[in-house]
Chains A and B, each alone.
Chain A
């Protein structure tokens, strides 16, 4: 794509040789570079500062304070902010519900991410090996759910889970199979299904994009050496899509820790989802129901730390070998 664009655009701006100006241009270019770069980067950096750095700073600050009242028994009187040290963090970390939420999303990620990526990889490999007919249809069909917002997907699947209305429950019932998708034991996996449904196709497209970048000679050579389809997939394609798998895994880890919309939407339908079902839900409840913004800030900071820690940790774990190739 880019190559075509290049060859088309190149003749439009013919370079005129200007050997006389060479010596002076070096310093002038530098100053010009710095000025131009600043003009191009600063608008983004200003908003990045406002929407990424400042909130983090503000949250860290807020998490170190608490609201105190001067009146007797802490009632009435003047509200003021008092330094609380790490008390809010201690509070969050000793909250069993908050920790249970963390444990829940970690378990969720440990099951859902591999499942989704194995499915995405399988579908990508199948589509790549399938004969041309139908490939476009299947690819669009798998990708379609990515265009459905998480909230809508949850509403949709919610209707497919709830006994009174769900055709799935009806079919299962007719087969003599009593299912309850929203029970305490299964609701987490009902949510996992929504996430798999939504994001498998997207991940598959990323993997297909990488597969397309693999030079065709590699396959030819392997086939001439007598490798069968499975061996080509196992020994050539899988190692080559490693960078894309790393990328999709990192995004999935980040996504998992943010889990919010799905449990939030399913909550009215499933009594097994409590206000601290995921860390995010817990922080939200602390802020808006418990009216405790300082603890909520501490929880948001903890969440960001764990998310960054896990993604960096994962990147380090696989980093060495990926970098050579990327």
Chain B
């Protein structure tokens, strides 16, 4: 409760407005440093865009930072999509399935757990929260191998479940939701709803979830990106290439590229296409993302 109130209480804009701009010399230095940094971060992406327009021969034969004489981006991307009976599209759909279902479930589970941890004083509450915190500190890849051993003993390895089920658990999401719910869902409001006779489930769905929306968007984004980027878990869990997410599929292409050099070109085009959805998602939701980050970091 303290933080949003404190933040709202300080009229930020007037206090921060600068009466005088810093000297020109500083501004030039700042701008140049920022530009150099931007070059560093953007050049590989630029290389990817340029290389997507090239065929295999040009990929090796022409200068990487400039277009070839005959750029054909659309033809090359069509090749990527149709190669091997459209396996790329299947991988893409798999990635969407894993990240979409996993992130939605993780968000709802985290919301419910975080809300309860913030709003219901019950015995063992701190124990549960400490367990969740320990979960945040356990490296995911140290878990992936044991998880594989366990799932393969249960007969779950090499199925969609093997990737989806672990993706629905986000200790960090619970942590974030608890902090956010404690600050943004007022007890008096819950009390009022209870007096009006609303059930706990309805209060959670109608009030809790609505008030926690910025945190939920953040959890969803984090988890979506996390699952989409995850490589180790699907690598150990899956052997059927029909179940691969994009990342795994693309590395399987690079593995064969020695024998079939055209796969280098397909890898580049596939990498380009696979980066697009996250870019769109992050651009659209960046505002919420930043809101949520503040909550998470400040209370750490």
Contact = CB atoms under 8 A, between A and B. Distances in A.
B242 interface: no
Contact of B139 (A32, A254, A288): A254
Interface string B206-218: 0100110110000
B85 interface: no
B38 to A, nearest CB: 4
A213 B15 contact: no
A21 B4 CA distance: 33
Nearest to A299: B145
Given A55-B150, A312-B137, A150 B3 contact: no
Contacts of B193: 13
B97 interface: no
Nearest to B128: A41
A261 B292 CA distance: 28
B211 A9 contact: yes
A288 B214 CA distance: 42
Given A134-B31, A141-B38, A297-B149, A216 B47 contact: no
Contacts of B26: 129, 229
Interface string B179-190: 010011010110
Most buried by A among B3, B196, B210, B297: B297
Interface in A249-274: 250, 254-255, 257-258, 260-261, 264-265, 268
Contact of B122 (A1, A37, A160, A264): A37
Interface string B229-252: 101100010000000000100110
Contacts of B69: none
A37 B116 contact: yes
Contact of B271 (A18, A134, A146, A152): A152
Given A33-B121, A229-B22, A217 B10 contact: yes
Interface string A128-170: 0111001001101111111111111101110110001111101
Contacts of A10: 186, 189
Given A48-B132, A55-B146, A159-B268, A6 B186 contact: yes
Contacts of A217: 10, 15
A44 interface: yes
B189 A280 contact: no
A166 to B, nearest CB: 7
What is the size category of the interface that chain A forms with chain B?
Answer: 35 or more
A97 interface: no
B236 A149 contact: no
Contacts, number: 337
Contacts of B16: 216, 219
Contacts of A255: 139
A44 B286 CA distance: 27
A56 interface: yes
Interface string A1-15: 111011001100111
Contact of B142 (A41, A122, A300): A300
Nearest to B6: A215
Contact of B298 (A2, A47, A144, A213): A213
Contact of A43 (B40, B109, B183): B109
A229 B25 CA distance: 13
B45 A144 contact: yes
A47 B143 contact: no
Interface string B189-227: 101110110001100100100110110000000000100
B150 A54 contact: yes
Contacts of A293: 149
A177 interface: no
A243 interface: yes
B165 interface: yes
B60 A164 contact: yes
B254 interface: yes
Interface in B259-300: 267-268, 271, 274-275, 278-279, 282-283, 286, 289-291, 293-294, 296-300
A112 interface: no
Nearest to A304: B142
Contacts of B33: 122, 126
Contacts of A26: none
A233 B109 CA distance: 40
A311 B142 CA distance: 14
B192 A149 contact: no
Given A43-B109, A51-B169, A165-B59, 12 more contacts: A6-B186, A9-B211, A16-B195, A39-B201, A40-B113, A47-B165, A126-B30, A126-B34, A151-B229, A151-B251, A206-B296, A304-B143
Top 4 nearest A-B pairs (CB, nearest first) are A216-B15, A167-B64, A15-B192, A59-B146
9 contacts: A16-B196, A44-B109, A48-B132, A48-B169, A137-B38, A147-B279, A148-B278, A209-B297, A213-B298
Interface of A: 1-3, 5-6, 9-10, 13-16, 18, 32-34, 36-41, 43-45, 47-48, 50-52, 54-56, 58-59, 62, 119, 122-123, 126-127, 129-131, 134, 137-138, 140-153, 155-157, 159-160, 164-168, 170, 197, 200-201, 205-206, 208-210, 212-213, 215-217, 219-220, 229, 243-244, 246-247, 250, 254-255, 257-258, 260-261, 264-265, 268, 280, 283-284, 287-288, 293, 296-297, 300-301, 303-304, 307-308, 311-312, 322, 326
